[in-house]
Amino acid sequence: MKKIVLISCVKTKLNQKAKAEFLYTSDLFKKNLKYAKSIKPDLIFILSAKYGLVELDNEIEPYEKTLNNMKKNDRVEWSKKVIAELTRKTDIGKDEFIFLAGIKYREFLLDKLKNYKIPMKGKGFGMQLKWLKENTYEN
């Protein structure tokens, strides 16, 4: 069983094409990524509203799109695309998925995954930053 971290994209980005790991520049994203790396998962993916499932070293263009203001049907279609990509790259029936993503980014994925954790479920922005600081291991 592999451990896989899924981090949602954020609004704040560079204004030029970059590897996904560096494109997103918000404090929350950086802390999510630092935490993810500190728990030494097998894989880390970004859940991008535009590109779907993105590997950290994928070069992508900046964009303005979020699931937070998309209609339910569009979020369902996005989720189907992400599940198809996860199915190709992981074992969705056995692997453990750790979500560092808001409800709109995970709502239609959870019922397709057998094994998942949402460590910051129900926490607001400030509490997420506090939790990440307290739970990130220094490497």
On whether residue 122 sits in a domain, the answer given is yes
On whether residue 46 sits in a domain, the answer given is yes
Cα distances (angstroms) measured from residue 139 to each of 37, 47, 136: 9, 25, 9
Q: What is the pTM assigned to this prediction?
A: 0.96
Cβ atoms of 66 and 75 within 8 Å: the answer is: no
On whether residue 47 sits in a domain, the answer given is yes
On whether residue 136 sits in a domain, the answer given is no
Per the structure, the count of domains in the chain is 1
Q: Residue 36 belongs to what domain range? A: 3-129
On whether residue 138 sits in a domain, the answer given is no
pLDDT for the residue numbered 139: 57
Cα distances (angstroms) measured from residue 31 to each of 24, 26, 82, 135: 11, 9, 23, 10
Strands 18-19 and 59-60: antiparallel
> 122: alpha, beta or left, given left = phi > 0 and alpha = psi -120 to 50?
left
On whether residue 139 sits in a domain, the answer given is no
pLDDT for the residue numbered 138: 74
Instruction: Look up residue 75 and give its DSSP letter.
Output: H
pLDDT for the residue numbered 137: 82
State what percent of residues in the chain have pLDDT above 90: 97
Average pLDDT, the chain: 96
Helix (H) or strand (E) holding 29: helix 27-38
Please determine, for residue 53, whether its predicted confidence score (pLDDT) is greater than 60. Answer: yes
How far is residue 92 CA from its own chain's centroid?
Answer: 15
Q: What is the mean pLDDT of residues 42-46?
A: 98
On whether residue 137 sits in a domain, the answer given is no
On whether residue 135 sits in a domain, the answer given is no
Q: What is the pLDDT of residues 101-135, one digit of tens each?
A: 999 999 999 999 999 999 999 999 999 999 999 99
